[in-house]
A and B are shown apart, each in its own frame.
Chain A
Amino acid sequence: MTDFRVEVRVTPRRGILDPQGSAVQGALKSLGFGGVEEVHVGRLIRFSLAADSDADARERVDAMCRQLLANPVTEDFDVRVEALAAA
């Protein structure tokens, strides 16, 4: 078993309305920050996972994302998996 550091980034699905992102973009503009476009607000979920291999970890995290961590109807997700140390 190897311990993996996992990060899941969940963002509003591309192309669908993200009112939170629009509000943040408007606030940045009103603060005088120019050139800011396409702001999206999502969330970061970080955890450690004991798994047999990198592929095993990725497969399990993908299932977690589909069942709970993200809602594929409205959200995209991106998974990063990094081995920490062999147990």
Chain B
Amino acid sequence: MKIGVVTFPGSNCDYDCYRALKDGLGAEAVYLWHKEHDLQGVDAVFLPGGFSYGDYLRAGAIAAHSPIMREVKAFAEGGGPVAGICNGFQILCEAGMLPGGLMRNRGLKFRSRPVHLLVERADTAFTGEYAAGDVLRIPIAHGEGCYFADPELLDELEANGQVVFRYCSGEGLVSPDANPNGSARNIAGIINAGGNVLGMMPHPERAIEPLLGSTDGLGFFRSLAAHLARV
């Protein structure tokens, strides 16, 4: 099992992601430079967090058109698993690989703290090791994580079961108080209709060992490994 982590200029969670894959999961991890066109035969691709291109224009807008994204799109169209975390989620939306968009946090504050996430779907390639209804404690760190989509699109996402994670209280209650950024319907992570492209604002790679304050993110990487072992 070989998993690629794309590095854009301004990515800053690429090493965290690499380490979660290599040490947390014990997988072979490789960096993929954004200017390359070779995915090196990886079985899955991660678009990590950070501030690609300094968030110029809009968060993720320029990285979405980086050379390697052509291959990442083709990989995803062929069913390959692609996960975007934080800036990676923004890039996937900007690239049109996930519906909706991410806007400036409602309170304008950069939010950097642990949040609770309700697992809505435990039957995806990225969440199979969790159970629906699980409450995870995973950090966020973003200024533009307010998920936006038109009401019709939101209804469609809900009807298709494409909402994977929602911000909730420690008890699993989804409420405005538990929403750190004003995201529509407390949405923290979604998956595409094909079930192989996932984007989420929280950082599971920052919650993989007790020293980091939580190990709840490990299940995310283990889920992907279990999925890859099955296909």
- Where the two chains meet, the residues of A that have a C-beta atom closer than 8 Å to any C-beta of B are 12, 16-17, 19-20, 23, 67-69, 71, 73-74
Chain B, 16-70, CB within 8 A of any chain A CB: 57-58, 61-62, 65
Quick one: closest B residue to A73, CB to CB? Answer: B101
Main secondary structure, interface of B, reads loop
How many inter-chain contacts with C-beta < 8 Å in the A-B complex?
Answer: 34
- Where the two chains meet, the residues of B that have a C-beta atom closer than 8 Å to any C-beta of A are 57-58, 61-62, 65, 93-94, 100-101, 103-108, 146, 148-149, 182
Q: Are A73 and B149 in contact (CB under 8 A)?
A: yes
A47 CB → nearest B CB, Å: 13
Contacts of A71 in B (CB 8 A): 58, 61, 94, 101
Q: Are A17 and B106 in contact (CB under 8 A)?
A: yes
Contacts of A68 in B (CB 8 A): 57, 61-62, 65
Q: Are A19 and B149 in contact (CB under 8 A)?
A: no
Measured in the bound complex, the distance between the Cα atoms of B11 and A21 in whole Å is: 28
Q: Are B108 and A20 in contact (CB under 8 A)?
A: yes
Contacts of A17 in B (CB 8 A): 103, 106, 146, 182
